[in-house]
Amino acid sequence: MTETPHGDAEGFRPHTSHWGVFSARMRDGTLEVKPHAGDPDPNGIIDNFPAALRHRARIAQPMVRRGWLERGPGPDSRRGRDEFVPVSWERALDLLAGELTRVRDQHGPGAVFGGSYGWASAGRFHHAQSQVHRFLNMAMGGYVRSVNSYSSGASSVLVPHILGTYEDLTKRNVSWEQIAEYSEVVIAFGGMALKNSMVAGGSISQHVERGAMERAAARGCRFVLVGPLRSDLPVEAGAEWVANIPGTDTAMMLAMVHTLVTEGLHDQAFLDRYTEGWPIFLRYLLGETDGQPKDAAWAAPICGIPAEEIAALARSLHGKRALVVVAHSLQRAEHGEQPVWMGAVLAAVLGQYGLPGGGYGYALGAIGYYGRRYNAVPVPTLSQGRNKVADFIPVARIADMLLNPGTTYRYNGQTRTYPDIKLVYWAGGNPFHHHQDLNRLRQAFARVDTLVVHELAWTATARHADIVLPATMTLEREDIGASSNDPLMVPMHPIAAPYGEARDDYAIFSELAGRMGVGQVFTEGRTARQWIEHLYERTRAALAEMGRPAPSFAEFWRSEGITLPQMEDDGGELRRFRIDPVADPLPTPSGRIEIFSSTIDGFGDADCPGHPVWLPRQEVPQGDTPLFLVANQPATRLHSQLDFGGHSTGAKHRGREVARMHPQDAAARGVADGDIIRLFNERGSCLAAVRVTDGVRPGVVQLPTGAWYDPADPEEERSLCVHGNPNVLTRDVGTSSLAQGCTGQLTTVEVERFEGNLPPIQAFEPPGALPMAAE
Ligand code: PGD
């Protein structure tokens, strides 16, 4: 640690995380945390820190997989099955620098996959993604990157074609303040669950969603939740619950639009003035192109909602300040582009775009930084340098890439070819959490020469690596916490010394860069503290330029955080467009809301045609897998992070993740509340505890992501995951040829009561290690 930092009277020092600003102190060797006093609705995820800090799941020293150490780099199906050999830092870094040099010189940087997707930790300098990308750019000359995210794979590709700037739509459009004040009806497809908005990348000092919904409801705003899980809107919203069949929202929205149009309740003036291609879409809607009017009677059996209820819901939106919300989760599924596009059309038909609290609130509530104000000054950001490799993959196509080098795939109108990857470098992500069909992912990782992972704990990803380098946890280093739309910029003080031999990602990359002859280029001669001061200066200078108080770094460091100025809540691009569509057209090809996109139509991909359509899923509940599985975000941790912490483990039952199912489905299978169940399909199986509740629609089982993958027998091909990781069950296919986004939200399964001896949970036990290697 560089200095003895200040603390409050009790010695608590500020820090932050993706799930909230907090302060912490060490007392008698124990970590204590408390939430930020200014947060109106803090959550319990910070309570994962105390037990996690010194947990045995932490990685204490560099490790090399035995097979890699003995036989050298190369494809190996022993990954994830092998033992590890502890090595010194010197040895680990020498081996790794040698391997990086070999791959660069023999195959070029285009054989390195450095997409390294993942949320890592808050902190603008020790941001693992930026660090790994910067290092690969400088030491290797670049790397094959990934584009888009697991969160918004489909929508982030679609939105620029049809609505304009993604960032603007989600962050500067309809705000929580507007909802509290103006909305009359909020219809939320997929809901706006607080477990999602409690998290925001970078830092979040105020959780405002619950309060905003409570204020809106108290004013008389009506909330309607369309979705299979009742908990996807908080009780404070007092929502009506329309429990449709998962994956059928597009059909429901089509039927609602059909009702509005055929009953003359649509806003034709808005459609004429602000949209493109309505007449083409209308022919499809009315059945003129395929003989099937998309009316409520058609949609009812698809959605599992009576036709009259769908029609009545549509009518009830007419003439109101109505806000249509479509959750990220809906697009994390087969044909995920369609509900996003159809939500935009429903909102256009209601004509409320650009009005305060009305229009289209795409993904509001999906994450804590949507629907808030934008900071008026930039936050500190580490430059990643220049990547000389142009090649990329859509992020969720990693297993396809590794398994099928040289084959082609469609993406956003292009036909692209998968590169031949020899080395994969991961820092700050957990593909054994985020990717689908984990048994397939294991096969994919067996194909590479070398897999390198920096991790703070023994995740399944670390267990599958060849070289594992122990990284510090956020609490063990200093940094600046900030995000582009949270007003509080936080000095993140180090609270504890690094665990074992763990080092910061920056320190690891600095050493490697030195060995590869680019030390000075990578570090620019700065220590970590000097970098933090350097990055702070950008924000300080912008504050000074605006004539705002611009504290020196020392003043900032002594503070509890400084409040950044924020932009007006002005409705952004869509408000300006509404006011004057000629002077302020949308940045779409037509300058309007594209109900029909000739660009997408021109791509000629049948799985994403030129306007929104109902495309039935390939994978539907039937035969051996009669239930839908909703694999959504967890409530007690961020993704898989700190799954071994107290708040996360405390919510498990008999050590397993908890699934929820409807009493009818449970009774039909002889399953009782609290039982252990086995969920299975053709791809894999896992155990979970079960909560029987009428809060899920019949025919639906829900199991959140994030329980660490824990195969009963790692030697087996498709071993049972004994802990409850739903990604052993999910399908590894893209949303469509347009976006190739992640489809992990929804799959089909069967469930049975688990009989017999309950296998132990091994996920948090360090893997078998041999004696330290002789140097
Ligand atoms: P995390 O668990 O956050 O998951 O996937 P992501 O990979 O981001 O992983 C971050 C890892 O970084 C953790 O293992 C943590 O220990 C490590 N880490 C933290 N700090 C540091 C650090 O400073 N240095 C290093 N080296 N490591 C660090 C999330 C992804 O999952 C996302 S965003 C979504 S939205 C998807 N959602 C779903 C879904 O809804 N359904 C399914 N089935 N699957 C999903 N996967 C996706």
- List CB contacts of 506: < 8 A, sequence separation 6 or more: 125, 126, 131, 528, 531
Confidence (pLDDT) at 2: 36
Strand residue runs (E) in 616-729: 627-630, 658-661, 676-680, 685-692, 700-702
d(C-alpha 271, C-alpha 279), whole Å? 10
Residues with Cβ within 8 Å of 9's Cβ and at least 6 positions away in sequence, in order, are none
Q: 469 CB under 6 A from ligand 1?
A: no
| Cα distance between the two ends of the chain | 30
Instruction: Output the CA 435–ligand 1 centroid distance in Å.
Output: 10
CB of 151 closer than 6 A to ligand 1?
yes
Distance 115 CA to ligand 1 centre (A): 13
Secondary structure tally for the chain: helices H, strands E: 28, 29
pLDDT number for residue 1: 35
Class for domain 173-373+577-602, per CATH?
A: alpha beta
Mean pLDDT of the chain: 97
Q: Whose CA is nearest to atom 40 of ligand 1?
A: 632
| Beta carbon of 725 within 6 Å of any ligand 1 atom | no
Ligand 1 pocket, residue 457 CB under 6 Å: yes
Which is the closest atom of ligand 1 to the Cα of 149?
A: 33
429 within ligand 1 shell (Cβ under 6 A): yes
DSSP string, 162-202: HTS-HHHHHHSSS-HHHHHHT-SEEEEET---HHHHT--SS
Q: Which atom of ligand 1 is nearest to the CA of 128?
A: 24
What are the residue ranges spanned by the domains of the chain? 63-150+377-563, 173-373+577-602, 627-753
Please tell us whether the domain made up of 63-150+377-563 is placed in CATH 3.40.630.30. no
What is the best residue among 45, 637, 639 to mutate for testing ligand 1's pocket, by most ligand atoms within 8 Å of CB? Answer: 639
Which member of 19, 117, 143, 278 is catalytic? 117
pLDDT confidence of residue 769: 76
Which pLDDT does position 113 carry in this prediction?
Answer: 98
Q: What is the pLDDT of residues 461-476, one digit of tens each?
A: 999 999 999 999 999 9
Low-confidence ranges of the chain (pLDDT < 50): 1-5
- Which residues have C-beta within 8 Å of that of residue 556, sequence separation ≥ 6? 489, 491, 536, 540, 562
**Separation of alpha carbons 101 and 106, rounded Å:** 8
Which atom in ligand 1 lies closest to the alpha carbon of residue 119?
8
Residue labelled with tokens 């990284």 = 471
Active site residue 117: yes
Domain covering 627-753 in this structure, CATH number: 2.40.40.20
HEC per residue, 21-67 = EEEEEEECCEEEEEECCCCCCCCHHHHHHHHHHCCCCECCCCEEEHH
Gap from CA of 640 to ligand 1 centroid (Å): 6
146 lines ligand 1 (CB under 6 A): no
Determine whether the shortest distance from the Cβ of 731 to ligand 1 is under 6 A: no
Structural element, H or E, at residue 481 = strand 479-481
